[in-house]
Structure 1
Amino acid sequence: MYKTISLLWVRLLMSLIFLFGEVHVSAFLGITWGRSSAQTFVPSMVVDLLLQNGISDMRIFQPSLNVLDAFANTDIAITITLQPNYLANVKEQKHIDNFLYERVKSYVDKGVKFRYVYVGNEPFLKVTTSKKRVNADVHFLNMTRYALDSFNFPDIKVTTPHFTDCLLNVTKPSEGDFREDIKEKMIEMIDYIDKTGGPFVLNIFPIYTVSRYGFDVEFSFFDNKSKFKIVDGNNIYKNVFTFLYDTLVSALTKAGYGQMEIVIGQIGWPTDGYMSASEENAERFYRGLFQYMAKKKGTPLRPNRDISMYVISLTDENTNSLESGAYMRHWGIYKLDGKPKYKIDFTMQDRETKPTAARGIVKMPKRWCVFDGKTDHNKTLVVQDYEYACDDSDCSAFGAGASCDNLSFVQQVSYAYNMRYQMENQNQQKCNLIGAMLTTVNPSTPNCDFPIEILTAEFVDGGSLLTKRF
């Protein structure tokens, strides 16, 4: 009898909780793994890093079969993306069905745990100069939800990540709203995602936001050392994260979805390629962010909330797009040689420790391709080869405020030559440039590292239907 009464009370309590909307899924701290790089970590190595550092979630951009295989029976929750170039080839429901059968259903059966399927990526992005791509809309969201339901996966949620420029450029969070040119489509998308139980996913790049809004760079950090702050009625904002989060809350509230769950899809700090992009500032940013998250303070408009997020990114991506800035290639917490760049504690206990180094990394031989600096070369031809080498590799460490912005002309050419040589696995033919020579003497400077690439057996594609096993 007592068991029956207790069971009735439990059911009544659960009914009340559901009725008043007080059920909150436990927050998580995950990390993204983008593989737009000449060389990448092998998937088993990545799984080891996540387990050793206590990271529970990962977003992968290219759901390759060998990557998914590595996460079987690990209890690491995976988020995958149906990329725009994949969606461009989707004509019928069976295309989504077949994809999710192969990439989700088959791997759930193998013990892979999935959290979200992102459909498209930042569909209303304003800053890109690329040709318009087929991206997410309610049609593709519905097809994806239908497929997952047909496989009986109601707990795998469907949503689409958005960049902060989907919001108006406001001076106070209470003014927050979605851009007028996208509002109708955005609200249609939000309505569908909310009704099917998915969260609103927002990607935040603080280093971009402070530049776009003209804020003091100190506003990026939780230990803001400036007097810059934003006063909005009774609410005071001393960092860009709470400012943007509550701007989104205001926008959702005005659209009629004030209680919709919010997940931060990407947030972090780059270590090169831009003013203030450094390892020291990245460590400072993450330390402040994690201290803040551990306190579960929420924001002025959503106090006492535990916020889920993915930090960006596991490694640098030296072939990533430069459309938004050179720093887009330098989000990595790890260098491509497997060494962590700075101290960061994913347990959010504020320990003074670096993450575990990757095991099994094998560097190429200590050889560099450099410019000999002789003055009898035709300088016009040297400059042409220098520009060609940069275009064919990665010179994102150049530019104002970047680590290699003070190199001499000879050093700049050497850096470009070497990057092309290294990113092609030290192929000697790639060093066949005006004045180029191979050397075993490290040409690095105190501030500018001339890297040696790593050996890799991993092949990464971009999700094209031309490659069937992507």
Structure 2
Amino acid sequence: MSESRILASSPMLLILLNLLIASFFDTTAAQIGVCYGMLGDPRPNPSDVVALYKQRNIQRMRLYDPNQETLTALRGSNIELILDVPKPDLERIASSQTEADTWVRDNVKSYDGVRFRYITVGNEVKPSEPAGRFLFQAMQNIEKAVSEAGLGVKVSTAIDTGATMDTYPPSNGRFNDEYRSFLEPVIGFLVSKQSPLLVNIYPYFSYTGDMTNIPLDYALFTSKSPVTDNQYSYNNLFDANLDSVYAALEKSGGESLEIVVSESGWPTEGGPGTSVENARTYVNNLIQHVKNGSPRRPGKAIETYIFAMFDENQKSPEFEKFWGMFLPNQQPKYDVNFD
């Protein structure tokens, strides 16, 4: 029997082939979002920002608090959203399931037509700060509220690479003692729910923290001198940072977890190594690079969110103000190819 007759006689086979093709493209296409920081003045209207995301084909957004005007503007946009539960809310939500239910009802369930992808409970919560005592319980309460509301949205939290140590070479990476006991319940929770861990990864900070030993081209994806780590080879600092967290997860019961890179970017001014050209180089290389995975997790695109859409001049210190790709008037600071 010819191939065409086999296909014609089996609609189910056609469906399966289509699913396979869709799956292939999902794992190889770039998975890029952009963080929408709102600590700038002036700043554009949220409805204009959503229009800019669509115009530039940015299909995912991270929003750091449930800003009602932005959530309204996102309705029907088809933009997938990471929504943060802000750190100051964790104690209240951890103390009461009713508070968690109310937060989910008011900020998620009420916004039909918004494509919620993840709810992130806290951003870079440290074990030593007051919110650290409430993170795990707040995650459990939010997840229960989401589940009982029938929303099907994954719940996670976002950490930074300061939680890890012994990261050179990446295979030695592990969580430092303070973070290990803090994160292991969180890791177990994420494993049980098959939710990813969100990690903010900034080669810029690694570079500025050790400019003697880390070349700028290694941070900007332009190095031609790979670093060898057993069977793995690293051509850039982003992969090394990411895989050191994967190595730490493997040592703490999280070997099955996927990492979503919930922030990464490069500032245009305000510190060493900052310039428009370096930011352009980093961001455009990042977008292309994450299509192919990392040495420890090859062949699967890394879901990655660029920080940030706009500068935030209300932040400090100085280098925190200049991470935006666009000016408040929505003109690009530099050219970015989001495809």
Specify the code of the residue in structure 2 equivalent to 1:334: F
Q: Which amino acid aligns with 1:142?
A: Q
2-structure distance, mates of 1:84, 1:258: 27
SS at structure 2 position matched to 1:293 = helix
Structure 1 gap ranges (5+): 15-22, 127-131, 348-470
Q: Is the 8 A contact 2:203 2:241 kept in 1?
A: no
* Corresponding position: 1:167 with 2:164: yes
Asked if 1:144 is matched to 2:146, the reply is no
Give CA-to-partner distance per residue, 1:61-103, whole Å, 9 cap, x none.
1211111110111111111111111223333111111111011
1:269 matched residue in structure 2: 266
Q: Secondary structure at the match of 1:59?
A: strand
**For each residue in 1:160-203, what CA deviation from the matched residue of structure 2 results, as whole angstroms up to 9, or x when unmatched?**
00101111142201101111122122111011012112101110
Q: Which residue of structure 1 lines up, in the alignment, with residue 315 of structure 2?
A: 320
Q: Once the 2 structures are TM-superposed, how far is the Cα of residue 60 of structure 1 from its aligned partner?
A: 0.7
Contact (CA 8 Å) 2:86, 2:121: kept in 1 or not? Answer: yes
Structure 1 counterpart of 2:136, one-letter code? V
Q: Which of the two has greater helix per residue?
A: 2
Distance 2:42 2:35 in 1: 17
* Distance change in 2, residues 1:125/1:239 (3 Å): farther
2:303 aligns with: 308
Question: Would the aligned equivalents of 2:127 and 2:182 in 1 still touch at CA under 8 Å?
Answer: no
Which of these residues, 214, 231, 234, is aligned with residue 234 of structure 1?
Answer: 231
Check conservation: 1:85, 1:133, Cα contact below 8 A: no
TM-score, structure 2 normalization: 0.88
Work out which of the residue numbers 337, 343, 346 in structure 1 matches 2:335: 343
8 Å contact from structure 1 (residues 163, 202) kept in 2: yes
User: Contact 2:33–2:306 at 8 Å: present in 1 too?
Assistant: yes
The one of 86, 93, 96 aligned to 2:89: 86
Distance across 2 between alignment mates of 1:202 and 1:105: 26
Q: What SS is found at the alignment partner of 1:207?
A: helix
How do 1:331-410 residues align onto structure 2 when only pairs under 5 Å count? 331-347=323-339
Alpha carbons of structure 1 residues 330 and 133: separation in structure 2 relative to 1, 3 Å: farther
Q: Does the C-alpha gap of structure 1 residues 25 and 201 become closer, same or farther in structure 2, counting only changes over 3 Å?
A: farther
Rounded to whole Å, the distance in 1 between the matches of 2:73 and 2:240 is 38
**Are 2:54 and 1:77 equivalent residues in the alignment?**
no
Say whether the 8 Å CA contact 2:180–2:252 is kept in structure 1.
Answer: no
Match of residue 278 from structure 1: 275
* Residue 211 in structure 1 maps to residue 208 in structure 2: yes
Measure, in 2, the Cα distance between the counterparts of 1:141 and 1:74: 27
Q: 2:34 corresponds to which letter in structure 1? A: I
Q: Distance in 2 between matches of 1:279 and 1:32?
A: 19
- Count of residues in Structure 1 that have an aligned counterpart in Structure 2: 321
Alpha-carbon contact 1:84-1:133 (below 8 Å) kept: no
Q: Cα distance, 1:25 vs. partner?
A: 11
Are residues 1:118 and 2:120 paired?
A: yes
* Separation in 2, partners of 1:194, 1:183: 16
SS of 2:110's partner is helix
Q: What TM-score, normalized to structure 1?
A: 0.64
| Larger RCO, structures 1/2 (Cα 8 Å, 6+ apart) | 2
Q: Which amino acid aligns with 1:270?
A: P
What's the RMSD between the two structures over aligned residues?
A: 2.5
Match of 2:3 in 1: none
Distance 1:291 1:8, change over 3 A: closer
Instruction: Report the Cα distance in structure 1 between the residues aligned to 2:10 and 2:56, rounded to whole angstroms.
Output: 44
Which runs of no fewer than 5 residues in structure 2 stay unpaired?
Answer: 1-6, 20-25
Q: Are the counterparts in 2 of residues 172 and 232 from structure 1 also a CA contact under 8 Å?
A: yes
Distance in 1 of aligned mates of 2:309 and 2:238: 21
Equivalent AA in structure 2 for residue 188 of structure 1: P
The residue type paired with residue 221 of structure 1 is: L
